[in-house]
Each structure stands twice: as structure tokens, then as C-alpha cells.
Amino acid sequence: MDRVAVLGAGSWGTAFAKVVADSGTDVVLWARRAEVADAISTSRVNADYLPGVTLPANLSATADAAKALDGAQAVVLAVPSQTLRANLTGWRTSLPEGATLVSLAKGVELGTLKRMSEVIREVAGVPEDQVAVVSGPNLAKEIAAEQPTATVIACTDHDRAVDLQHACSNSYFRPYTNVDVVGCELGGACKNVIALACGMAAGLGFGDNTMASIITRGLAETARLGAALGADPLTFAGLAGLGDLVATCASPLSRNRSFGERLGRGDTLAQAQEAAHGQVAEGVKSCSSIRELAARVGVDMPITDGVHQVCHEGLDPRVLTAALLGRERKAERQ
Ligand SMILES: NC(=O)c1ccc[n+]([C@@H]2O[C@H](COP(=O)([O-])OP(=O)(O)OC[C@H]3O[C@@H](n4cnc5c(N)ncnc54)[C@H](O)[C@@H]3O)[C@@H](O)[C@H]2O)c1
Ligand SMILES: O=P(O)(O)OC[C@H](O)CO
């Protein structure tokens, strides 16, 4: 692979483009705003999202998506989940034939309840084995600072995953392959919701026992959903499951955890949204789609359900705490 397009110049799109460029592959990064593309081209910095990070010379930027896509062997989609369908519909006619379409987004679409790889297949009209997913404990700022990190590249076509693995392996970034796309995507989407719950707990002043309890029971409900949807249960013990869950729930860099913390301290949804400065906390929307998906397949997800109620039905996080603790007693593996 010698040319990759990354569509979306937010925190992760820009950091991932740097990863690919630092791995020796030429990258063209598409930014929605022309001034962001121009600034990257002239100063080699994306000051809005990754201030202080110098981007490599083999990374160029443009606001023209067709230009970014021209000749790309892999097309990396780095826009928020709920905008992926509309964005990709606009790019569809410029997608290079046979290119691997790669999702970086961690969410489940509202309304359709589709995972991002399903949205991509549907909109681009490509087979399942042409779509890959990157998911793991990947806080963009740490990766942009070249801190050692592992991730998972999931694709039902193992050889395609390996090609992509070669295009984004370097001294600070180590991707593993996996053929369980369903498990990796669900792990990535659900952990944002659990991180909101951990944030709420932190905002309420609770400590590490509470965090560990939410993380572990959050993993249990994520794995239950995964099992019902055909995922490999072991995926949830891996980087795209437990790995990402721990990083997101523990890190002050996580937008989801920070958002939850504000709610826990008493902010309204609107106040927490304002404090996020336009950066996406995917769990705020995906808590609703995941909750609906769980109901569709008859899976109990009490934490996800509670996060939805706090975010969208005005439930006080303190009342959620009491409700979760007061649930019917049960066996751990029930
Ligand atoms: N930031 C991280 O550390 C990180 C790590 C792994 C995965 N992710 C996932 O990657 C995806 C993108 O996250 P990000 O951190 O780059 O987000 P971000 O908020 O930093 O950037 C989003 C980018 O998408 C663009 N965009 C295009 N159409 C848009 C629209 N209609 N509305 C809003 N923005 C639009 C924005 O201009 C911006 O460049 C999310 O699903 C996120 O969960 C993020
Ligand atoms: O900042 P968050 O909460 O969107 O999390 C970022 C990444 O998904 C961590 O892997």
C-alpha cells in the first residue's frame, strides 16, 4: 500500500493520518474546513485538534474529498458515527474501485441501529470483506505524542487486514489483526457509554471501587450484547474490548468520561455539550441506539439503559446509582 486517504481531520483522523505517514505510506487528509487544510499545508499543524504536534512531510491536506480519494488504496473514515452515512453518500462516486474502506468511528447509528461497517457496506455498495475497522485503546493525543500503543484492525478478509496492518505499524503504534468485526465494533461503541457512567461516578465523588465495578459490569453487558449478535466472546477480553474500556473509563483525555463527569457534577446535557467545544462524545447518542439494539435482541444492559435515562430523560445520576444498586440480586454470570 503506498497511498491512503483519511477523511476527517479531527483529533483521531489527524493522529491516525500521522500514524500512517510515520509508517512510510503517503497520506492525504481531508478536512471539512478549507482553513484547516490550508493551515496543515502551510504550518504542518492542526492547531484546532492537535496543537503542538508537527505532522510529517508525507502527509498532505485538502478540503477537496475527490482529490484526497484519487488513487487511494485505503480510505479511512474518521468522522463522527452519526454523520458517517451523510458524509459517505457525498463521497460515494469518488471512492476508488477495490479500496479498503476503514472505519475509525465508534458508535451505532440512531434509527437503523447499524454498526459503522454495516453503514459503509450499504452506502458504498461493497462486500463485507472490503470493510475494515480500527478499534482499541487509542486516545488520539497520546498517539500523536508517539506514546506506545496497540490496537486492532478487524476485517473478515484476513489478508486485507494484514495489508492495512503493514501500512500503519511503526515504532509507537502496534496493530493486531482480528476477523471479528462485530465484536471489535461493539466493544468500541459500548465502551463510550460505560465511560459516561464512570465519568458520572467520578462527578459524584466516587472512587476506584466504583470505577472498577462499572468497568467490569459494563464489560459483562457489552459481552452479553456481543454474544447475542454473533461476536466472539474472547474479543471482549482483548484490546478492542477491555483494553479500550479501561483506557477510556480511566483517562481524563476521554471526551466521554469528561462529559459524564460534568453530568455527575450536576451540569445539564446542554452545559456538558457546550463544554465539549464541538468535539464528539459518541456515547451520548449511542447509548440510545445500543439500548434499542439490546432490547431488539432481548439483552439486559442496565448501565447503558441508565446512561440513556440520565442523558435523555432527565434522570439524576444519584437516582441512577440507587437504582443500579437496588436491582434484583443475581449470580455474577447470569
Ligand atoms: N479522539 C480519539 O481519541 C478517538 C480515538 C479512537 C476513535 N475515535 C472515534 O473516531 C471518530 C472521530 O472522532 P474524532 O475524535 O476525530 O472527532 P472530532 O470531533 O475530533 O472530529 C470530527 C471530525 O469530523 C468532521 N466532520 C465531518 N462531518 C461532520 C459533521 N457533520 N459533524 C461534525 N463533524 C464532522 C469534523 O470537521 C472533524 O474534523 C469518533 O467516532 C470517535 O469515537 C476517536
Ligand atoms: O475521547 P473518547 O471518549 O471519544 O475516547 C477516545 C478513544 O475512543 C479511546 O480509545
∠ Cα 32 33 35 (to 5°): 150
Mutation test of ligand 1: which of 280, 284, 286 has the most ligand atoms closer than 8 Å to its C-beta?
Answer: 280
**Grid cell digits, residue 315:** 434522570
**Grid cell digits, residue 112:** 437503523
Cα 216 to ligand 1 centre (Å): 27
**Hey, what's the torsion of the CAs at 89, 269, 325, 189, to 10 degrees?**
20
Cα 18 to ligand 2 centre (Å): 17
Q: How many C-beta neighbours within 10 Å does residue 24 have?
A: 15
Is residue 241 marked as binding?
Answer: no
CATH topology of domain 182-325: N-(1-d-carboxylethyl)-l-norvaline Dehydrogenase; domain 2 (1.10.1040)
Mutation test of ligand 2: which of 104, 106, 198, 262 has the most ligand atoms closer than 8 Å to its C-beta?
Answer: 106
Ligand nearest to the CA of 260: 2
pLDDT of residue 334: 80
**Grid cell digits, residue 301:** 444492559
Reported ipTM: the value is 0.98
**3-179 belongs to CATH 3.40.50.720:** yes
* Ligand 1 atom with least separation from CA of 87: 28
Cα 127 to ligand 1 centre (Å): 25
pLDDT (tens, 9 = 90+) of the chain, 334 residues, equals: 999 999 999 999 999 999 999 999 999 999 999 999 999 999 999 999 999 999 999 999 999 999 999 999 999 999 999 999 999 999 999 999 999 999 999 999 999 999 999 999 999 999 999 999 999 999 999 999 999 999 999 999 999 999 999 999 999 999 999 999 999 999 999 999 999 999 999 999 999 999 999 999 999 999 999 999 999 999 999 999 999 999 999 999 999 999 999 999 999 999 999 999 888 899 999 999 999 999 999 999 999 999 999 999 999 999 999 999 999 999 999 8
Mutation test of ligand 2: which of 19, 133, 248, 287 has the most ligand atoms closer than 8 Å to its C-beta?
Answer: 248
Cα 99 to ligand 1 centre (Å): 22
* Ligand 1 atom with least separation from CA of 140: 3
Strand partners for 103: 77, 133
- Three-state secondary structure string covering 208-264: HHHHHHHHHHHHHHHHHHHHHCCCCHHHHHCHHHHHHHHHHHHCCCCHHHHHHHHHH
Q: Is 244 in the pocket of ligand 2 (CB under 6 A)?
A: yes
Which ranges in the chain are annotated with CATH 3.40.50.720? 3-179
Strand partners for 332: none
Q: Is 137 in the pocket of ligand 2 (CB under 6 A)?
A: yes
Question: Three-state DSSP class for 175?
Answer: strand
Which ranges in the chain are annotated with CATH 1.10.1040.10? 182-325
Concerning whether 285 is annotated as a catalytic residue, the answer is no
Distance separating alpha carbons of residues 215 and 200, to the nearest angstrom? 13
| 304 close to 295: Cβ distance less than 8 angstroms | no
pLDDT of residue 280: 83
Helix H or strand E segment including 321: helix 317-325
